[in-house]
Structures are given as C-alpha cells and as structure tokens.
C-alpha cells in the first residue's frame, strides 16, 4: 500500500469523496437560495453564494484530507488563490461542455453531465496535485 501508484489511487478516491461533499453543499445552498431568497426567475443569483460556500468547503476538505500527505502548505493566500483559479477553470470547463452538448449539438441536458463528471474532475485533480498542493 506504500507504493506510489496506490497512494495516487487512494488520493483520487479521497478527491472524489470530498468533491461529492462539495457538490452536496453547493446543491443545498443553491436550492435554498433559489427557492427561498430570490424571486422566481432569478435563480441564477443563487449560483454565487452556492459556489463560494462549496469552494470554501472544498478547499478545506482537499487541503486537510485529500492532499494532506502531499506537497506543502504555504500558509498564505497563494494556495487558496491557486485553488480558486483551478476551481474556476473547472467551472468554465463544465459551462463549455454544457453549452456544446445542449446548444450546437442539441443534446438533452443530462448528456452534458457525462463530460462534466468524467473529464473535469480528472483535470482539476491533476491541476490541484501539481500546482495547488505541490
């Protein structure tokens, strides 16, 4: 179990579990704000608080659990800023996938989830491992 490839597999599994937790936080906050705070038709404004809270939770989970035994922690704002940039890149990637699948290709909304779930987590994991928590 101390082999480098096994450490990477377990790190990726922790990444998935922590990511699922962040997705749950995002979903709950989004639904609460969209349903209780903002008027009907203004649900898009619920994205910002949901994204910010899930981003904070995600950083804590990944820095203290997923990548706890990997790399260093700089203690300043650099690491949280790099983490935010990587997550913003994942957000942009998912937006691009969703647009391409649903608009030019005319696919069903659920089809956009396939590249979002299969490609974006691998890309953000790699970026976090080599840039954020290196």
Nearest Cα to Cα of residue 13 among 65, 76, 81: 65
In this structure, the answer to whether residues 88 and 109 fall within a common structural domain is yes
Sorted by sequence, the CB contacts under 8 Å of residue 105 that are 6+ apart come out as none
- CA distances, 45 to each of 12, 13, 34, 96, 98 (Å): 32, 32, 8, 19, 19
Range of the domain at 116: 72-134
Whether 90 and 37 share a structural domain: no
Looking at the structure of the chain, the number of domains it has is 2
pLDDT at 85: 93
**Residue finishing a domain among 51, 70, 89:** 70
Same domain, 91 and 112: yes
| Amino acid 69: pLDDT | 65
Quick: pLDDT tens for 58-94: 888 877 777 766 656 566 778 888 988 998 998 888 8
Last residue of a domain, one of 50, 70, 90: 70
- Domain check: are 115 and 58 in the same one? no
For residues 102 and 51, membership in a common domain is answered with: no
Q: Which of 43-47, 114-118, 124-128 has the lowest mean pLDDT?
A: 43-47
- What length does the chain have? 134
34: nearest Cα among 47, 23, 25? 47
Structure tokens at 133: 């928590």
């Amino acid at each position: 179990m101390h082999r480098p490839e096994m450490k990477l597999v377990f790190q990726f599994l922790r990444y998935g579990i922590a990511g699922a937790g962040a997705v749950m936080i995002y979903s709950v906050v989004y639904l609460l704000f969209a349903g209780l705070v903002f008027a009907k038709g203004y649900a898009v404004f619920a994205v910002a608080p949901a994204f910010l809270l899930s981003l904070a939770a995600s950083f804590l989970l990944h820095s203290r659990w997923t990548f706890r035994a990997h790399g260093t922690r700089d203690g300043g704002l650099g690491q949280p800023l790099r983490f935010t940039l990587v997550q913003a890149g994942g957000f942009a990637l998912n937006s691009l996938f969703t647009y391409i699948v649903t608009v030019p290709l005319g696919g069903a909304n659920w089809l956009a989830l396939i590249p979002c779930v299969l490609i974006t987590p691998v890309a953000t994991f790699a970026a976090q491992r080599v840039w954020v928590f290196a």
